[in-house]
Amino acid sequence: MKSNQYIDGTYSQKATGWHASESPWKAANVLKLISRNSLVFETACDVGCGVGEVLAELQNALDPDIEFSGFDISPQAIAVAKAKENERLKFYEDDFVKSSSKEFDLILLLDVFEHVSDYIGFLESVRDRASWFIFHIPLDITAKGVLFKSNWMLYMRERYGHLHYFSAETAMATLSDAGYEVVDFSYTDDFDVTKKMIPKHFRSRLVYEARRYLSRTRPRLAASIFEQFNLLALARGGRPVAGQRDHSRQSAGDTLG
């Protein structure tokens, strides 16, 4: 039986800094989704919070009275996150599903459930713990990967521990099957945060430019062809929503059809 790489320190060696350099970008995308849907909340929790940088970014940008909590099973990550704590920002080295029954207005699951063996069971178990959920889901299934027999999915499995792979359609279906109602979604592009160098080789540069053009104009199509896109989704959970207007929207160019 394999050891748990998130507890024994293996993952912290693979993912230098626990992806903290991506946190301002992730937080900015979360803030756009919150603003676009006029979400009002008093408590928020990041499940699988890593070193806590996303919550720290959100706290700096949102109402100072909001209470933020972060949960992660990694002692290495929480040791770093603890340095960011304040009166309304707390971190816990705990399994959110097994050790806590606390409910929140908003739960963040950013690049999380693709790492969980029983991902449907996990999603069902946390569904009633919040009124709103924001998901960030890597889209590892692509036309490029299938047609050119890319090792991308195997790379993501070995390097970052992805046990499950999604397209936009299967990601949305997964949330629906687990009892969530997706009310808004958009796509994010890892190239926006990695600042990938423009290739010098002519053919590679053509592919790069086509990818970037589609990312801006047809993100759904881009995500179906190329790796390193993600689905960012806002969904209703099982906890009643108090005082919120009806939401049913998506970003321009983001239809699944």
Does residue 205 register a pLDDT over 50? yes
Does residue 58 register a pLDDT over 90? yes
Model confidence band, residue 3 (pLDDT cutoffs 50, 70, 90): very low
pLDDT at 80: 95
On the CB side of 194, CA atoms within 13 Å amount to 10
pLDDT digits (tens, 9 = 90+) for 79-95: 999 999 999 999 999 99
Domain regions of the chain by residue span:
10-236
Of the chain, the percentage scoring pLDDT greater than 90 comes to 60
CB 115 within 8 A of CB 163: yes
Nearest to 136 by CA among 171, 168, 109: 109
Nearest to 86 by CA among 106, 107, 102, 64: 64
pLDDT at 149: 67
Model confidence band, residue 207 (pLDDT cutoffs 50, 70, 90): confident
Sort strands 43-47 and 104-110 into parallel, antiparallel or unpaired: parallel
The arithmetic mean of pLDDT across residues 16-34, rounded, is 87
* CA distance linking residue 18 with residue 15, whole number of Å: 5
**pTM, to two decimals:** 0.85
Nearest to 152 by CA among 141, 166, 136: 141
Written as one string, the DSSP assignment of 36-83 is: HTT---SEEEEET-TTSHHHHHHHHHS-TT-EEEEEES-HHHHHHHGG
pLDDT digits (tens, 9 = 90+) for 172-197: 999 999 999 999 999 999 988 876 66
Position with higher pLDDT, 241 vs 17: 241
pLDDT at 1: 31
pLDDT digits (tens, 9 = 90+) for 103-150: 999 999 999 999 889 999 999 999 999 999 999 999 988 898 777 667
* CA distance linking residue 114 with residue 163, whole number of Å: 6
Token pair, residue 241, equals 């929503």
* CA distance linking residue 64 with residue 159, whole number of Å: 37
pLDDT at 210: 86
Does residue 245 register a pLDDT over 70? no
In the predicted model, what is the mean pLDDT of the chain?
86
Q: Does CATH number 1.20.1250.20 belong to domain 10-236?
A: no
Model confidence band, residue 257 (pLDDT cutoffs 50, 70, 90): very low
Phi, psi values for residue 70, rounded to 5°: -125, 135
